[in-house]
Structure 1
Amino acid sequence: MKVEAKIFGACTVFFGLVAPAYWFVTSAGEHGGDWTGTSALTMTALLTLMVTFYLGFHAQKMEPRPEDRLDAEIADGAGELGFFPPYSWWPLWAALTLGTIVYGLAIAAWWLAIIGVALGAVATCGLVYEFYRGEHAH
C-alpha cells in the first residue's frame, strides 16, 4: 500500500499547486476568480490527502504485500484473491428504479417517484440477499 499512498500523495501535491494557480489565472478577468473551479480543486486536494493518510496509516500496520516488496517473486502473489460474484441482474433493476425516481422528480410526477421508491426497495433487497437464495446461495 505504500506505492498507492505515494501515488495519492503526488496527486495531493499536484492539486494543491494547481488550485491556487487556477484561482490566480481566472482572477485576471474582470469578474474576479472562478470560485467554483477553485473550490473543486481544493476539495480534490483535500480528498486525495485523506486517501493518502488512510493508505499510509494502513501500510505501516500491515506486512508488505508481494507488490510492495522489491525481492518478491511472481509466485508470491499466487493464491485466492477474494470472492468475485458471478453475473447478476439486480444492478440493472436498481439502476432502472433510480432512473424512474429521478425522472419522476424531474417532471414533478410524485406518483412515479413513489412507485420508483417501492420498486427500488425490492431491487435493493434482491441485490443484498442475492447470495442467500437461488443458484448462488452460500
Structure 2
Amino acid sequence: MKVQGWLFLLCGLFFAAVDVAYWFWTKSATGQGEPVGTTAMAISVGFAFMIGYYLMFTARRIGDQPEDNKQGEISDGAGEIGFFSPSSWWPLFLCLAAAFAFAGFAIGLWMFLIGLFMVVMAMIGFVFQYYRGNFSH
C-alpha cells in the first residue's frame, strides 16, 4: 500500500503545480485567475492528498503487503482478497435513490428530501444485507 500512497501523494503535488500554473495562465487584466477551474483543481489536490494519506496511514497499521516487496512475485499476492456480494440489488436501489435526490436539486426541495430519505434507506439496506434473512450469522 505504500506504493499506492506515494503515487497519490505525488499526483497531489503534480495537481498542485498544475493548479498554480493554471491560475497564473488565466490571470486577466484585473489580476484574478479563473475561479472555477482553479477551485476544481484545488479540490483534486485535496482528494489526492486525502487518499494518499489514508493509504499511507493504513500501510503503517497493517504492515508490508506483497506489492511493497521489490523482489516479490505476482503469486505472492494470491489468495482470498475479501468477500464480494455475488448478487445484490442494493447498489441499483442506491443509484436510483441518488439519481432521484440529485434530480431534486433541479425540481425542488421536497423531492430532494424524499430522495435523501431514500438514499439513507438504501444505504442501510446495502450495509446490513447480510445481517438478516437467510444470510444472517
Q: TM-score, normalised by structure 2?
A: 0.75
Name stretches of at least 5 consecutive residues in structure 2 with no aligned partner: none
Q: Structure 2 CA distance, aligned partners of 1:119 and 1:54? A: 29
RMSD over aligned CA atoms reads: 2.8
| CA displacement, residues 79-118 of structure 1 (integer Å, 9 cap, x when unaligned) | 21111111111222232233334445533383x5565556
1:55-82 deviation digits (Å, cap 9, x = unpaired): 3333344431111102223332222111
Bigger Cα displacement from structure 2, 72-81 vs 53-62: 53-62
Change (3 A) 1:3 1:87: same
Aligned to 1:24: 24
Amino acid in the other structure paired with 2:6: K
Q: Which residue of 1 aligns with 2:98?
A: 98
Greater Rg by CA: 1
Q: What is the TM-score of this pair, normalised by structure 1? A: 0.74
Structure 1's 2 and 34: CA in aligned 2 closer, same or farther, altered over 3 A? same
SS of the aligned residue for 1:84 comes to coil
Q: Aligned runs of 1:26-105 on 2, under 5 Å? A: 26-27=26-27, 29-30=28-29, 32-104=32-104
Cα distance in structure 1, aligned partners of 2:121 and 2:6: 42
Residue equivalent to 1:126: 125
Deviation at 1:25, TM superposition (A): 0.7
Letter aligned with residue 129 of structure 1: F
1:92–1:52: structure 2 CA closer, same or farther, 3 Å change rule?
Answer: closer
Q: SS of 2:84's equivalent?
A: coil
Q: Which moved more, 1:9-18 or 1:90-99?
A: 90-99
- State how many pairs are aligned: 136
Instruction: Single out whichever of 100-109 and 80-89 deviates more from structure 2.
Output: 100-109
1:72 counterpart SS class: coil
Q: Which residue does 1:11 correspond to in 2?
A: 11
Seq. identity, %? 40
